[in-house]
Amino acid sequence: MSVFTAVILVCQLSTPPQACDEASAIDVISTQAPNELVCMHGAQEVVARGALREGVGDTLYVKSLCRKG
C-alpha cells in the first residue's frame, strides 16, 4: 500500500493559482495520508483547525496537492 503526502498551501488572493507553490505560499502544511482520497479530503480539516482559517476566502485561499511516496 502506498503512502501519500498531503501538501496544503495557503496563498494570498493576489497570487494566481498556477503560481501558488511552496515558495510563494504564506504557509505550507504537510501531513501523511494512507490513500489518495484521505489525502485530498483531509486538507479542509487541517486548515479549519489552523490559525489562518479566518483569512480564507477574504485575503487567502487554499491549494491542495497530493504526492505519492
pLDDT given at position 18? 96
> 31 pairs with which residues across the strands?
6
C-alpha cell at 33: 495520508
pLDDT given at position 42? 67
Q: Is 48 helix (H, G, I), strand (E, B) or coil?
A: helix
Residues of the domain holding 60:
4-68
pLDDT given at position 52? 67
Please give the tally of structural domains in the chain.
Answer: 1
Mind listing the pLDDT tens digit for each residue in 19-69?
999 999 999 988 888 888 888 776 667 776 776 677 787 898 989 899 987
